[in-house]
Amino acid sequence: MQEIIVIGGGVVGLTSAWWLLEAGHKVTLLERAPQVGTGTSYSNGGQLSYRYVSPLADAGVPLKALQWMFQEYGPLKFKPQFDAHQWRWLAAFLANCRVDANRQTTHKLLQLGELSRRAMVQLEPVVPPASFQWRDAGKLVVYRTRKAFEAATSKSDSSSTRQVWSAAECAAHEPALADVAGQLEGGIYNSGEAVADCYEFCVTLAERIASHPRFAGYVHGDAQRFVSEGDRITGLQTSAGLLKADSYVLSAGMQSRTLAKTADISLPIYPLKGYSLTAPIRSGDVAPEISVTDFERKVLYARIGGKLRVAAMVDMVGEDLSLDARRLASLTRQVRETMPHAADYNSVTPWAGLRPATPNSAPIVGPTPYSNLWLNIGHGPLGFTFACGTASVLTDLVQGKAPPFTLEGLSLR
């Protein structure tokens, strides 16, 4: 049994804490915000997208990215900055924009996705699905151009949960798409995907953690720097004083980069800012039952409880959480156009979050140059999806066990 400090109470830190407790360790959880789950885990797209894991980096993406920047509904915004992180990350991202790199990462993420699906099921007795609006909704990716639809349907996928639908079938299965059916080429439906409220998941899990017999307690404080001696971390300086443990898990989302720097570790993560809109669904509204992804515009639509959640956009603008009025207006226009009757758009709550993204879209889980410091970071656009899987991999590693698959592409190396 080890005493372990987990830094960060987002979905990744909380799942890490739970898995470590269950494996027999004594865990302390450090969170600087007054409440858990209020960082990037707060109002995300809610997708538990175990099979739709395509890394952002792919052949052809650099050219598409240039086009997106000049489109009215472009999903990408790039603001060049005097920031070495931005340029280094961009260079590494471009190096990953290759067919073979994309294929390798996709393979790894599919393995992680399956592990995460099973791990989430394992958690059901502890965090009941109803407590966080979990729904086995299935996912429909719709395509507006023939080229993109043909490229997607020609990809080999033997999954028995996958179906290819025409535009008319998309609208028949998902009436919320009726108004745009004429603009669609078709869609790919996957019945195996789910949707849920990530923040509610965090809150319920935090309650279970609090009552776990081995839980040492929550510390409300800001981790400031690691203290080290040789190849060991000997303490963590925080606003609540110096904390000491046998091991430390860094899972502080985007802030992990700054903290790791205090131990001379350079983390290849960059904040990819995204937005969400949440609108109440009134009786009579035609909200989607199936979770929908508008492929070309990169907009996700999901019914989460009594609300419609829309998530979109990738803005490379540094650690800026401001709500950009122009981006929000563009997103609102697209949503009203695509699903005009899905919710009460006069009562929308906008939100922005920073996806802690690695250049190849794969999280980093595992060891560091310090024998007692572990990473669980860089979950980018799929942190809710992968959190249970990476927590179980991390716990295997801390226990000295081999994880169920090799971690090539998922480690700091």
Ligand X SMILES: Cc1cc2nc3c(=O)[nH]c(=O)nc-3n(C[C@H](O)[C@H](O)[C@H](O)COP(=O)(O)OP(=O)(O)OC[C@H]3O[C@@H](n4cnc5c(N)ncnc54)[C@H](O)[C@@H]3O)c2cc1C
Query: Which residues are at the interface with ligand X (CB under 6 A)?
Result: 7-13, 30-33, 38-41, 44-47, 222-223, 251-253, 255, 259, 274-276, 300, 311, 353, 355-356, 379-385
Structure tokens at 247: 């091991």
Structure tokens at 311: 């998530």
Structure tokens at 61: 């993406």
Rounded Cα distance, 54 and 139, in Å: 14
Shortest Cβ distance from residue 38 to ligand X (Å)? 6
Q: Write phi, then psi, for 27 (nearest 5 degrees).
A: -120, 140
Shortest Cβ distance from residue 387 to ligand X (Å)? 7
Phi-psi region of 37 (alpha: psi -120 to 50; beta: other; left: phi over 0): left
Nearer to ligand X, 327 or 379 (CB): 379
Nearer to ligand X, 359 or 380 (CB): 380
Shortest Cβ distance from residue 154 to ligand X (Å)? 26
Helices (H), 57-160: 61-69, 84-95, 99-122, 146-154
Structure tokens at 68: 């997106």
Nearer to ligand X, 180 or 202 (CB): 202
Q: Name the 3-class secondary structure at 140.
A: strand
* 8 A C-beta contact, residue 192 and residue 229: no
Nearer to ligand X, 311 or 410 (CB): 311
Q: How far does CA 338 lie from the centroid of its chain?
A: 24
Structure tokens at 298: 């990169």
Shortest Cβ distance from residue 377 to ligand X (Å)? 6
Of the candidates 308, 342, 305, 333, which has an alpha carbon nearest to the alpha carbon of residue 176? 342
Nearer to ligand X, 192 or 274 (CB): 274
The residues facing 6 across adjacent strands are 29, 249
Shortest Cβ distance from residue 303 to ligand X (Å)? 13
Shortest Cβ distance from residue 4 to ligand X (Å)? 15
Nearer to ligand X, 180 or 311 (CB): 311
Of the candidates 236, 271, 226, which has an alpha carbon nearest to the alpha carbon of residue 369? 226
Nearer to ligand X, 31 or 185 (CB): 31
Shortest Cβ distance from residue 353 to ligand X (Å)? 3
Shortest Cβ distance from residue 357 to ligand X (Å)? 8
* 8 A C-beta contact, residue 27 and residue 17: yes
Who's near 65: CB < 8 A, 6+ residues apart? 76, 78
Nearer to ligand X, 303 or 379 (CB): 379
Q: Name the 3-class secondary structure at 301.
A: strand
Nearer to ligand X, 68 or 384 (CB): 384
71: number of Cβ within 10 Å: 12
Rounded Cα distance, 218 and 14, in Å: 11
Shortest Cβ distance from residue 35 to ligand X (Å)? 8
Q: End-to-end CA distance of the chain, in Å?
A: 27
